[in-house]
Amino acid sequence: ETCAPEGSEMRAGAVALAAGKRLDYSCIALLAAVGEARPKVYPPRRVAVLATGDELVEAEGPRPEGGQIRNSNGPALAVLVRRAGGRPWRLPPVGDDAQLLRERLRQAAAGAELVLVTGGASVGKFDFVQAAWRELGGTWRWNAVRIRPGKPVKLGVMAAADARSKAPRPKLCLALPGNPLSAMLTFELFVRPLIAALA
Q: What is the pLDDT of residue 147?
A: 86
Residues 175, 188: Cα–Cα separation, whole Å: 13
Q: What is the pLDDT of residue 16?
A: 86
Q: What is the pLDDT of residue 2?
A: 60
- Cβ neighbours, 10 Å, residue 65: 8
pTM for the structure as a whole: 0.80
Question: For residues 111 and 168, is the Cβ–Cβ distance under 8 A?
Answer: no
Strands, E assignment, 84-126: 87-90, 114-118
Residues 190, 172: Cα–Cα separation, whole Å: 12
Q: What is the pLDDT of residue 87?
A: 96
Cis bond leading into 149, ω under 30°? yes
Low-confidence ranges of the chain (pLDDT < 70): 1-2, 7, 121-126, 161-163, 165-167
Dihedral, 76, 79, 85, 90 alpha carbons, nearest 10? 80
